[in-house]
Amino acid sequence: MDQMTKRPMPTEEGILAFHRRCEAFYPADAVDASIEQQRQWYDALCAEFDAPSPAGLTREDRLVDGRIPIWRYWPATVSTKTRIYYIHGGGFVVGSLNSHDAICAELADFAGAELVSVDYRLAPEHVWPAAFEDCYAVLQELLADGRPVVVAGDSAGGNLTAGIVLKARAEALAGIVGQVLIYPGLGGDLVSGSYVEMAEAPGLTTADTSYYRKILQAPADNPFAAPLAEKDLSGLPPTYITGAFFDPLRDDARIYAARLATAGVNVTFREEPQMIHAWLRARHMSEGAREGFRRLAEGVAVLAGTR
């Protein structure tokens, strides 16, 4: 806890330096700005934390259903038929193929697997279920040729990942061999648990989360939009969940992991004790983020069958 401000704060210098660097590009009150300004700030932030691509990695861009942009990544060595399908975060408001490019490239390379990322429609121009429908349409195409898929996503992308996996189960869509949820927002109660304890956490506040929910206009009682509303989690694929201690979304990850385990799902849960929301971007400047990313990449590789 920061004794001057009473805000919950980690003590690892690397993640604190990361947070200071973020706020130089994306201020704490960014949600008060116009949507256009938020996206400009976010793009600048993502560019600041860009990283070189692994040697030998190639990309291809194409459209699904003639309208949904995707990027396909091939590492120098592909060791599995399983594909990773990555859905980016950004509160459903910001983010793009570019914003998570380096993260996707490094995950593909570590796992030795082809990876596909999606550029879904954003709010407020496109409210729920536009993003959900885009992500599900890409999933359907990826599964159509019979190759296994691991679905992964961070933050809002974690929400979309969990939601489309639930829909795939409801529609008996076969071929998903794993899901990976990275500090996901899963529709938890905004007035209890970590939403209260970490309400003023660095990087993401509970007020920010409320803003993103309101702008998306998703039904809180629909499990595809709020996966914690799902009563029966049995029959879901093996799952890797990683959360951050200093994050209002922390308990969403904890609760979903526990409920998956209770339902008999093979679940691995890891919580990063010194991390804040969006710590993936700190993987090259924070020891905790570096270790968390290594564990995450190993979890993805295990689900993809290369570890």
3-state secondary structure 42-87: HHHHHHHCCCCCCCCCEEEEEEECCCEEEEEEECCCCCCCCEEEEE
284 tagged catalytic: no
| Cβ neighbours, 10 Å, residue 119 | 20
Phi, psi of 243 (to 5 degrees): -125, 175
Alpha-carbon distances, residue 72 vs 75, 84, 85, 284 (angstroms): 10, 10, 9, 24
> Which one is catalytic: 100, 251, 277, 286?
277
> Which one is catalytic: 154, 247, 251, 252?
247
Q: Is 290 helix (H, G, I), strand (E, B) or coil?
A: helix
> Which one is catalytic: 155, 251, 252, 286?
155
> What contacts 24+ positions apart, CB below 8 Å, involve 269-273?
269/241, 269/242, 269/243, 270/240, 270/241, 270/242, 270/243, 270/295, 270/296, 270/299, 271/242, 271/243, 271/244, 271/245, 272/242, 272/243, 272/244, 272/245, 273/245
155 tagged catalytic: yes
Alpha-carbon span 78 to 74, nearest angstrom: 7
Alpha-carbon distances, residue 79 vs 74, 75, 194, 231, 295 (angstroms): 11, 9, 40, 37, 19
Could you list the active site residues? Answer: 155, 247, 277
